[in-house]
Amino acid sequence: MWWQLQPGILSRAALDGLASIPLSIGGTPVTTGQVGVAYAGFTVTAAGGTSPYTYSVASGSLPAGITLNSSSGSVSGTPTTAGAYAGIVIRVTDAVSATANLAAFTITIGAVARSAMLPNVFVNSDGTARQANVDGTMINL
Protein backbone atom coordinates (compact mmCIF):
# COMPACT_ATOMS: atom_id res chain seq x y z
CA MET A 1 0.00 0.00 0.00
CA TRP A 2 1.14 3.55 -0.65
CA TRP A 3 1.62 4.52 3.03
CA GLN A 4 4.10 1.70 3.38
CA LEU A 5 6.10 3.11 0.47
CA GLN A 6 6.36 6.57 1.98
CA PRO A 7 7.36 6.15 5.61
CA GLY A 8 6.91 9.18 7.85
CA ILE A 9 4.18 10.71 5.72
CA LEU A 10 1.29 8.52 6.82
CA SER A 11 1.36 5.35 8.84
CA ARG A 12 -1.15 2.56 9.16
CA ALA A 13 -1.27 3.28 12.90
CA ALA A 14 -2.41 6.84 12.15
CA LEU A 15 -5.18 5.55 9.90
CA ASP A 16 -6.27 3.05 12.55
CA GLY A 17 -6.38 5.86 15.10
CA LEU A 18 -8.79 7.84 12.91
CA ALA A 19 -11.21 4.94 12.88
CA SER A 20 -11.14 4.46 16.63
CA ILE A 21 -12.74 7.72 17.81
CA PRO A 22 -15.14 6.54 20.54
CA LEU A 23 -18.86 6.69 19.87
CA SER A 24 -20.67 9.44 21.77
CA ILE A 25 -24.19 10.86 21.92
CA GLY A 26 -25.45 14.35 22.67
CA GLY A 27 -28.68 16.28 22.85
CA THR A 28 -30.73 18.39 25.23
CA PRO A 29 -34.15 16.89 26.00
CA VAL A 30 -37.21 19.10 26.24
CA THR A 31 -38.60 17.97 29.60
CA THR A 32 -42.15 19.36 29.53
CA GLY A 33 -45.19 19.12 27.32
CA GLN A 34 -48.98 19.18 27.37
CA VAL A 35 -51.60 16.68 26.27
CA GLY A 36 -52.90 17.52 22.80
CA VAL A 37 -50.21 20.12 22.06
CA ALA A 38 -47.32 19.33 19.69
CA TYR A 39 -44.22 18.50 21.75
CA ALA A 40 -41.36 20.97 21.17
CA GLY A 41 -39.08 18.00 20.49
CA PHE A 42 -35.32 17.63 20.25
CA THR A 43 -32.77 15.62 18.29
CA VAL A 44 -30.00 13.43 19.66
CA THR A 45 -26.82 13.28 17.61
CA ALA A 46 -24.01 10.76 17.44
CA ALA A 47 -20.33 11.39 16.87
CA GLY A 48 -17.38 9.08 16.41
CA GLY A 49 -17.76 5.36 16.03
CA THR A 50 -18.70 3.92 12.65
CA SER A 51 -21.78 5.13 10.81
CA PRO A 52 -24.58 4.43 10.14
CA TYR A 53 -26.14 4.99 13.55
CA THR A 54 -29.38 3.63 15.00
CA TYR A 55 -31.20 5.32 17.88
CA SER A 56 -33.43 3.54 20.40
CA VAL A 57 -34.97 3.97 23.84
CA ALA A 58 -32.72 1.86 26.10
CA SER A 59 -34.78 2.27 29.29
CA GLY A 60 -37.91 4.00 30.46
CA SER A 61 -40.52 4.93 27.91
CA LEU A 62 -41.46 8.03 26.00
CA PRO A 63 -44.92 9.46 26.68
CA ALA A 64 -47.72 8.05 24.53
CA GLY A 65 -47.83 10.00 21.26
CA ILE A 66 -44.12 10.92 21.31
CA THR A 67 -41.73 8.84 19.23
CA LEU A 68 -38.01 8.53 18.51
CA ASN A 69 -36.99 8.31 14.86
CA SER A 70 -34.48 5.44 14.83
CA SER A 71 -32.44 6.80 11.92
CA SER A 72 -32.44 10.57 12.54
CA GLY A 73 -32.57 10.69 16.36
CA SER A 74 -35.51 13.12 16.27
CA VAL A 75 -37.92 12.98 19.23
CA SER A 76 -41.31 14.44 18.33
CA GLY A 77 -45.08 14.01 18.39
CA THR A 78 -48.15 15.09 20.29
CA PRO A 79 -48.56 13.59 23.77
CA THR A 80 -51.87 11.91 24.55
CA THR A 81 -51.48 10.98 28.23
CA ALA A 82 -50.51 13.20 31.17
CA GLY A 83 -47.87 12.07 33.65
CA ALA A 84 -44.20 12.04 34.57
CA TYR A 85 -42.13 9.68 32.44
CA ALA A 86 -38.90 9.11 34.36
CA GLY A 87 -35.68 7.26 33.63
CA ILE A 88 -35.76 7.70 29.86
CA VAL A 89 -32.41 6.76 28.30
CA ILE A 90 -31.79 7.11 24.57
CA ARG A 91 -29.08 4.90 23.08
CA VAL A 92 -27.13 5.13 19.85
CA THR A 93 -25.68 1.99 18.29
CA ASP A 94 -23.17 2.20 15.46
CA ALA A 95 -22.39 -0.16 12.56
CA VAL A 96 -20.01 -2.28 14.67
CA SER A 97 -22.46 -2.52 17.61
CA ALA A 98 -20.71 0.02 19.83
CA THR A 99 -23.20 1.92 22.02
CA ALA A 100 -23.44 5.21 23.89
CA ASN A 101 -26.27 6.43 26.14
CA LEU A 102 -27.71 9.87 26.73
CA ALA A 103 -28.02 10.60 30.46
CA ALA A 104 -31.39 9.59 31.93
CA PHE A 105 -34.07 12.29 31.91
CA THR A 106 -37.76 12.80 32.75
CA ILE A 107 -40.50 14.24 30.55
CA THR A 108 -43.51 15.65 32.39
CA ILE A 109 -46.71 15.98 30.38
CA GLY A 110 -49.42 18.24 31.79
CA ALA A 111 -53.14 17.54 31.47
CA VAL A 112 -55.38 19.54 29.20
CA ALA A 113 -56.37 22.79 30.88
CA ARG A 114 -60.15 22.93 31.21
CA SER A 115 -62.23 25.94 32.08
CA ALA A 116 -65.60 25.84 33.78
CA MET A 117 -68.08 27.26 31.34
CA LEU A 118 -71.81 26.88 30.99
CA PRO A 119 -72.92 26.38 27.39
CA ASN A 120 -75.15 29.02 25.85
CA VAL A 121 -75.20 31.28 28.90
CA PHE A 122 -75.41 35.02 28.34
CA VAL A 123 -75.25 37.94 30.75
CA ASN A 124 -77.69 40.77 30.12
CA SER A 125 -76.67 44.40 30.49
CA ASP A 126 -78.47 44.50 33.86
CA GLY A 127 -76.32 41.63 35.14
CA THR A 128 -78.96 38.90 34.96
CA ALA A 129 -78.01 35.63 33.31
CA ARG A 130 -79.98 33.89 30.61
CA GLN A 131 -79.52 30.54 28.94
CA ALA A 132 -80.51 29.58 25.41
CA ASN A 133 -82.49 26.38 25.04
CA VAL A 134 -82.10 24.00 22.14
CA ASP A 135 -85.31 25.32 20.57
CA GLY A 136 -83.91 28.88 20.64
CA THR A 137 -86.03 30.17 23.54
CA MET A 138 -84.31 31.94 26.41
CA ILE A 139 -84.74 31.28 30.12
CA ASN A 140 -83.69 33.45 33.05
CA LEU A 141 -81.23 31.89 35.45
Domain boundaries, the chain: 2-114
Question: Quick one: pLDDT at residue 3?
Answer: 45
Over the chain (141 residues), what is each successive 10-residue block's mean pLDDT?
Answer: 49 54 97 97 97 98 98 98 98 98 98 67 65 62 57
The rounded distance, in Å, linking the Cα atoms of 17 and 93 is 20
In which element (H, E) is residue 121 found?
strand 121-123
pLDDT at residue 104, rounded to an integer: 98
* Superfamily holding 2-114: Immunoglobulins (2.60.40.10)
